[in-house]
A and B are shown apart, each in its own frame.
Chain A
């Protein structure tokens, strides 16, 4: 089944490099400064895509696709999308390749990057040519041609967005990632899964009971979570594609799963010993090792990208605080010293920072702290409760839940706290977002 899909995908996405310069242009990643990319957004013009035949149906698809392109790129927080009404040139008429583009028409309206597209759509084929230009250098940065079945616009646009981000930053971005979250839209808290941008939320669990804390394996194939399906908070480990998995139902609580990056292993909190402690499990749900030894609550593990260290919550000092355990030395160090209630650590995929939530006064807010304890930064504030931070796979964005509009909903912001916006609108209450890696 999977294999067949894979073969089909290869057939569909006959991707052709038609410009060899593509390789040399991203040598320095000098477009986006990834150490502080959101201070200055890059002005980009997404022209309305040219159509092959020019018929109305194709025109509509072209317009929708270029809009989709704009919104996906804007989602990253790196870009300032220029208003099409201000464009001096219409590549729809003039042409979509460097020889036909008058780049000064783009630099003069402030565009530093230009995206052009050509779409061919008929009943059984969707073909798209997409190009990203550096307008000042008048040079193609990346160009690709995609062939697929009609209706695959989103997938193609996601692919090319990944290319763009790869050429500008050196990593693959977020476009093939997914988001799991909790919603009580059905009357019970259940897990839903949507695209990286909140598109197409689909219900994943049908437990008709409280379901919480979704956690993705780093290959995106497994989801672990807690559910009261059998009346108790038990741990479920599910394969997303196949209907299989395991249940860990120890006496007491079975909560807060977190996968070890790159491994079929996860940590979770159990209280069968009489105390809430973190243990390591195989992906099949077999407990292999106890990771914390301390009277009082230890919970909510989150691993460093290499899996050598683990951040977690402990009440060993009297209040819940974030600690880091180093597996090689066995040392445990306290990370947070400000505030009386610091929980929900989430280790950045870039490795240098940990996001967590902190209760100060009557508000809970999201903070980011360096792994060495430095650079403590508050990212949210004056907007009711903001909880459950989860980093995007490239470490550029953070998902969280917020009650700023009344009922809790899922929101997203940049790693620096800018561009805070709602991810999706759904009936009921949405909490506990978890961002997956890019899933191929």
Chain B
């Protein structure tokens, strides 16, 4: 739930910031046609045409770039979010909490948008419990995450699971805070 809020906030800040830079550069271009942005266009051509047209054309060209960049940034953020957002479990449980389901919804949407991508889901456990049982439990955790995404329409061949049990804790601490962080399913891109 927190993660999703954070992502939304990120977009709220980043997109207006980008629009703002775009409108600033418009002015820069009209008065001083040798800025960095201009260099990316065809400067020779720009110097031959009238001022007004130059402004219009360059501003159109520039806003396209900004859009592309914003899109790229958005895609990158989405990809990073896909990898960095772990889902968490209760002790000795592979049941998906609603916060985990929210994250999995985003992940499924992203996979639908990126059909070429295959994904590995790692199932992890905290150090409590016994190592053999935890491999089985980690397997169930990874599998319930996979099933959830498959149910949303992603082809099952695109998702493989691997259980690490308690072998790869994120936080080596011996307390509830560390354990909660370690009871997770983590996604990596194949």
With contacts defined as CB atoms under 8 Å apart, how many contacts are there between chain A and chain B in the complex? 72
A251 (CB) vs chain B CBs: closest residue: B160
Contact of A304 with B by CB under 8 A: no
Contact of A212 with B by CB under 8 A: yes
Given contacts A231-B162, A319-B92, contact A274 B143 (CB under 8 A): yes
CB of A182 to closest CB in B, whole Å = 9
Which residues of A lie under 8 Å from residue B140 when comparing CB positions? 276, 297
CB pair A255 B136 closer than 8 Å: yes
Q: Which of A253, A359, A362, A364 contacts B136 (CB 8 A)?
A: A253
Of the listed stretches B31-39, B53-61, B64-72, B125-133, name the one at the interface; the rest are far from the partner chain: B125-133
CB of B129 to closest CB in A, whole Å = 7
CB pair B132 A299 closer than 8 Å: yes
Q: Interface extent on A, as a size class?
A: 20 to 34
Whole-angstrom distance between the alpha carbons of A369 and B176 in the complex?
Answer: 31
Within 8 A of B (CB), among A333-382: 341, 343-344, 357, 359, 362, 364
B128 (CB) vs chain A CBs: closest residue: A359
CB pair B132 A213 closer than 8 Å: yes
Given contacts A233-B163, A319-B92, contact A344 B132 (CB under 8 A): yes
Contact of A313 with B by CB under 8 A: yes
Whole-angstrom distance between the alpha carbons of A388 and B129 in the complex?
Answer: 11
Contact of A285 with B by CB under 8 A: no
Contact of A176 with B by CB under 8 A: no
Whole-angstrom distance between the alpha carbons of A256 and B135 in the complex?
Answer: 10
CB pair B139 A253 closer than 8 Å: yes
* Residue contacts A-B, CB under 8 angstroms, 26 given: A210-B164, A210-B167, A213-B131, A228-B164, A232-B162, A233-B135, A252-B161, A252-B163, A255-B135, A255-B136, A256-B132, A269-B136, A271-B143, A299-B133, A313-B133, A319-B92, A320-B92, A341-B129, A343-B130, A343-B132, A343-B133, A359-B129, A364-B128, A364-B129, A388-B131, A431-B131
Residues of A at the B interface (CB closer than 8 Å) are 189, 210, 212-213, 226, 228, 231-233, 252-253, 255-256, 269, 271, 274, 276, 297, 299-300, 313, 319-320, 341, 343-344, 357, 359, 362, 364, 387-388, 431-432
